[in-house]
Amino acid sequence: MNEPIIIIDGDDVEIYLSVFDAQSDIEAIDAMYGGFIAYDSKGNILDISVENTDTVVISDPKRQQNNHVALANSIREYLKYIGKNDKKTLLKSPLNELVAELLVVYGFKRTP
């Protein structure tokens, strides 16, 4: 699993620097019924489960699935929605650059 962790919830996109941060922030009830999709930074789909009715666990799935295209498209749509589509390269940016831009948006990195 490659951090950061990206959680897609409908049109909303959240990014967490670590699995621990994501597990700590997501409420168990939301993990059970929220319809989240969790990805690592390479576009690998992660499992979200709940243990003991209140502990959120994000883990590598038994069968690895990569959907970097869907993740990149979700990040692009989110950046566009929040008004960060001023860069002409946004549509052509690879996933690693989109993740880096998302980190900047969330205040985890400074713009160069």
Residue range 51-106, pLDDT digits in tens: 998 899 999 888 888 899 999 999 998 988 888 766 665 777 899 999 999 999 89
Tokens 């690895």 found at: 64
| Residue 89, in any domain of the structure | yes
pLDDT, position 110: 62
More confident residue, 22 or 10: 22
Asked if residue 74 and residue 55 are part of one domain, the reply reads no
User: How many angstroms separate the CA atoms of 96 and 72, rounded?
Assistant: 9
Please tell me the total count of domains within the chain.
2
Q: Does some domain include residue 14?
A: yes
Same domain as 72, residue 49: no
pLDDT at 89: 59
Decide if pLDDT at 17 tops 90.
yes
37 and 10: one domain?
yes
Considering the domain architecture, whether residues 48 and 79 belong to the same structural domain is answered as no
User: Is the peptide bond prior to 61 cis by the omega test (within 30 degrees of 0)?
Assistant: no
**Same domain, yes or no: 79 and 47:** no
Phi–psi pair at 7, nearest 5 degrees: -115, 125
- Residues in contact with 109: Cβ distance below 8 Å, sequence separation at least 6, in sequence order: 100, 103
Please report whether residue 112 resides in a domain: no
- Please give the residue range of the domain that contains residue 9: 5-59
Whether 23 and 42 map to the same domain: the answer is yes
Give the pTM.
0.88
